[in-house]
Amino acid sequence: MSKTALLFAGQGAQVVGMGRDLAEKFPSAKRYFDRANEILGYDLASICFNGPETELTKTENAQPGIFLVSWIAFQLLREKIPNLEFHVTAGLSLGEFTALTAAGVTSFEDGLRIVRERGRFMQEACEVTQGSMAAIIGLDEAPTREVCVEAGVELANLNCPGQIVISGEAEKITKACDLAKAKGAKRALPLPVAGAYHSHLMASAQPKLKSVLEGVVFNESSVPVISNVTAEPHGAIEAIREKLVAQVTSSVRWEASMRYLLAQGFTRFIELGPGTALSGFMKRIDKTVQMQNVTDVASLEGIS
């Protein structure tokens, strides 16, 4: 039997206009955008549809916006394929919260509120630190770790072979890029981000997020959900909360997560939400699997 995994987009996937055609064509999508506006008390739908880009890119808007569009893509996929069977969920950083919501651990309403607050706490951490990130292209993990130790920065995302993201203080990231090139990296590209995500510079967000999560009802998941921190399925409910707090400063072990699923016999992966970054990562991890995505009307209509 074919085993299907649902993958949910992470921060950085946001793009002005995301979800607009889905809301225009599908009444259920429009209802979710309207409901999100009610829950949050501001017009998130307009920011997703119309920007401006500077507003959408703010962490406090990008995170709930991507969560919302990804959730709607999930719901529309279920409408299109009523007998859809999926056996695990996973998401990149922010996407882990969507994955947990899709597995029934939190309600849509609570999931949306959590990611809005998470985004706000991380934005606050960005504003009091001088952080940055960079993508290291074409350098293996071991020498990249050596670069991090030498420059005093951290591994943020282990996305796929040949693509690792580092995070830390801005001037140290500049040094790390130079060191990576000297060790043979094809490219070392500073990223246009607000701060040093998945590093110790985000630590001030953790107790605030912990407090929010303690006030939310968590349920047993309907399917396993992969943790970014461990690259394995989450365990008990209380441990989920702990891992989500740890995730703020921990490395996102995406490649290891996907290799875990491949080892478990998963052969079909569906990426949900804006962009196709996760599909691109999978091509670098294993080209033989079936990879699909739902990001807009055209991609939804093309899936079966």
The residues assigned a catalytic role are: 93, 198
**At which residue do the structure tokens 């500077």 appear?**
54
- Which residues touch 100 (CB under 8 Å, ≥6 apart)? 89, 91, 106, 111, 221, 225, 234, 240
Sign of CA dihedral 212, 214, 217, 221: positive
Q: Is 58 exposed, middle or buried (0-12, 13-18, 19+ CB in 10 A)?
A: middle
Q: Which amino acid is present at 83?
A: N
Please give, one letter per residue, the 3-state secondary structure of 164-209.
Answer: EEEEEEHHHHHHHHHHHHHCCCCEEEECCCCCCCCCHHHCCHHHHH
* Pairwise CA distance, residues 190 & 165, whole Å: 9
Tokens of 17: 């206009």
Q: Can you name the residues that pair with 292 across neighbouring β-strands?
A: 270
